[in-house]
Amino acid sequence: MEVSILQAVLIGIFAYLGSLSVPWLLGLTGGWYTITRPLVSGFIIGLILGDVQTGIIVGVAVQVVFIALVTPGGQMPQDLNSAAFIGVTLGTLAVKGGATTESAVAIATAVGAIGTIFHNFMMLTNSFWNHRAIAAIENADYKGLTLNHFVWPQIIQFFYRFIPTALVVYLGSSLATNIINYFPVDSFVMRTLTALGGMLPAVGVAILLRQVTNRDIELLYFLVGFTFIAVMGVNMIALAIIGAFFAYLYFKFSETKTAVEQPLSDVEEEL
């Protein structure tokens, strides 16, 4: 499948709108934390490419890999923006060409690792504008503050995100097709990518469980949900309702336990 210039431009624009430090979509809320999630970007890319189903399938698979991604202090182990727009686009094109979803996940993850270059350049450039903005504040130069805090950083940010994304998507569409031609699904390379792509979601879920559990016994919650789906055939919506019910009971029990264990005040003890 060939990607037109218009499609590449649209994907590049969404990559910019969803990148870190862009304020146009309610800041991080609508940008970084919404459209840059591979699940959402897959839907957007599917709309642009005319295949929403494949876009969502690839987006969901990539989302699981990055489900526990955190960026403390601006440190970026993987550039989610590159994975969400460049990686998911190339993965969608590869799947449409006959590749497996697991291989698309491996491609998107590799792109995310390479994309950290864009992020590091962005952080380096922002430090330059920050120094100029601080100097403008010290000199009471409000126009200089506006230019160095809002205008120039956004222009540079646009070039960092839009140009690489649009170029890679436009020029890489034929590459994704050639990969399938050179390496069929039953080839060693594609079987290796499929195996790696199949393991990566497990790594993402494991990291998430490590973050949200305080004790090892709490892994039983995950195992119960896995049993409902894998053994009993419960769908995700039904499982979410069941999980919400047990979460409500847990919090109600925690509130009751806290109220019972709360020590009495001096006035209550005198009474």
pLDDT at residue 143 in the model: 92
Same domain, 193 and 226: no
Same domain, 51 and 86: yes
Please enumerate, as own/partner, the contacts of 203-208 that have beta carbons within 8 Å and a separation of 24 or more: 203/65, 204/64, 204/65, 204/66, 204/67, 204/68, 205/64, 205/67, 205/68, 207/67, 207/68, 208/67, 208/68
Q: Tens of pLDDT along 206-242?
A: 777 777 788 888 888 888 888 888 888 888 889 889 9
Q: Tens of pLDDT along 143-184?
A: 999 999 889 999 999 998 999 999 989 988 776 666 656 666
b/e map 7-30, b = 16+ CB within 10 Å: bbbbbbbbbbbbbbebeebeeeeb
Six-digit token string for 162: 């839009």
Same domain, 106 and 182: yes
Is residue 270, in this structure, part of any structural domain at all?
Answer: no
Q: Tens of pLDDT along 25-49?
A: 988 899 999 999 999 999 999 999 9
Helical residues (DSSP H) of 183-218, grouped into ranges: 188-212
Is residue 179, in this structure, part of any structural domain at all?
Answer: yes
Six-digit token string for 2: 């060939």
Domain that holds residue 224: 216-262
Closest CA to 203 of 40, 69, 41: 69
Based on the structure, what is the number of domains in the chain? 2
Burial class (CB in 10 A: 0-12, 13-18, 19+), 111: buried
Last residue of a domain, one of 192, 212, 232: 212
Q: Tens of pLDDT along 181-211?
A: 666 656 776 677 667 666 767 777 777 777 7
Same domain, 61 and 179: yes
Same domain, 125 and 31: yes
Helix then strand count (H, E) for the chain reads: 13, 0
Cα Rg of the chain, angstroms: 23
Confidence band, pLDDT 50/70/90 cuts, at residue 16: very high
pLDDT at residue 154 in the model: 92
E strand or H helix at 175, and its extent?
Answer: helix 152-182
Is residue 159, in this structure, part of any structural domain at all?
Answer: yes
Q: pTM for this structure?
A: 0.77
Is residue 269, in this structure, part of any structural domain at all?
Answer: no
